Amino acid sequence: MSKLTKEEVKHVAHLARLAITEEEAEKFAEQLGKITEYVQTLNELDTTNVEPTSHVLPIVNVMREDVAEKGLDREKVLLNVKEHEDGLVKVPPILEE
């Protein structure tokens, strides 16, 4: 990969809505260039027999079982609301007619 130019850094900063100075663009171009050079060394590794992974640990499904449970009692919930009608919470309108 070629070295990042100051113009490319300024373009990416613009896309990210970041205001950077000329000096910062120069500094970041150098720093990002060193990072990409280092990452390029990973291409030298032989990964022929290495399976792709999405996580470093062999975790399968870590989510809990989706079990329906009884919710809150309606009367208790309505005790905490400012205004209610027919068992429903009344809220101020947010859209005008």
Alpha-helical regions (H) of 1-97: 6-15, 22-40, 74-78
- Decide yes or no: CATH 1.10.20 for domain 6-44: yes
Reported pTM:
0.48
Spell out the residues 6+ positions from residue 90 whose beta carbon is closer than 8 angstroms to its own.
81, 82, 83, 84
The structure tokens listed for 93 are 């309108």
pLDDT exceeds 80 at position 5 = yes
Residue 85 host element (H or E): strand 84-85
pLDDT exceeds 80 at position 97 = no
pLDDT exceeds 70 at position 10 = yes
pLDDT exceeds 60 at position 1 = no
Residue 89 host element (H or E): strand 88-89
Q: How far apart are CA 80 and CA 91, in angstroms?
A: 13
